[in-house]
Structure 1
Amino acid sequence: MDEIERAALVKAVGKAIAAKRGENGLSQENVAEILGISREAVSRMETGVAIPSVVRLAELAEIFGCAIEELLTEASNRKLDQAKHITELLADLNQEKRDLLLSVIKQLISGFSQK
């Protein structure tokens, strides 16, 4: 993984952390207090300035009530991780809406493939 890919991954993980925090109605101050760190440290993780350790990711997942992999999968550029994320997004839709989305996705892929 080169430096550009690494930076993009760290930023994406930070965005996932911020999104999960928001989904849970928590402020950076709330998360910082639970973790025993400064609000600035939380901000640095969310903006991709600081890389959270595996232990810190586990703590964040516990706070947000999610699996550690959720913080990583949404940020990953690996095809399998992206496919899993799409599967999770489709899970709550009825069959008709999933079929419609699959049709749109097929059209988009076809359009991208032609260029």
Structure 2
Amino acid sequence: MSGINVNELGKAVGLAIAKQRQRKGLTQEEVAERLGIGMEAVSRMERGLVVPTVVRLAELAQIFECELADLLRESSTRPSEQGIVLAQQLERLTSQDRTLLLDTLSHLVERLASK
């Protein structure tokens, strides 16, 4: 047994899809049209009821103008991949805001790790 919980993975991938769709300012209907599928199919993917194939993820990445890896990284529970997601988010901030966020995050990690 692989230890991968398909339900949790489906929900995490669905959340990443929804996040990228919203980032691009697209509706589920617009994504469905571009994929040539029904809107309910997009909704099921975003809710994690259906885990999309690798081909479908590649199509979504093309629509969202992101890397295929971004959709998988955002759904990962691995600290190294989560670190990449955080780094991508940090790139959007000014140096001063990054410093503030990193200080805050460090304090939060210390507090949570001490419990």
**How far has the Cα of 1:25 moved from its partner?**
2.1
Percent identity over paired residues: 46
Question: What letter is aligned with 1:63?
Answer: I
Unaligned runs of 5+ in 1: none
> What per-residue deviation string (whole Å, max 9, x for no partner) do you get for residues 58-81 of structure 1?
000111111111111111101111
Q: The residue matched to 2:30 in structure 1 has which SS?
A: helix
Residue 87 of structure 2 is aligned to residue 76 of structure 1? no
Distance of 1:114 and 1:28 partners within structure 2: 42
Unaligned runs of 5+ in 2: none
Deviates more, 1:8-17 or 1:20-29: 20-29
- Give me the TM-score of the superposition, normalised by structure 1: 0.91
Residue 82 of structure 2 is aligned to residue 97 of structure 1? no
> What per-residue deviation string (whole Å, max 9, x for no partner) do you get for residues 80-99 of structure 1?
11000110111121222111
**How far has the Cα of 1:11 moved from its partner?**
0.5
2:3 aligns with 2
Distance of 2:23 and 2:113 partners within structure 1: 35
What stretches of structure 1 move > 2 A for 4+ residues in a row? none
1:108 aligns with 108
How many residue pairs get aligned? The number is 114
**How far has the Cα of 1:2 moved from its partner?**
3.3
**How far has the Cα of 1:20 moved from its partner?**
1.4
1:19 aligns with 19
Q: The residue matched to 1:88 in structure 2 has which SS?
A: helix
Distance of 1:23 and 1:62 partners within structure 2: 14
Distance of 1:25 and 1:106 partners within structure 2: 32
2:86 aligns with 86
Question: What letter is aligned with 1:60?
Answer: L
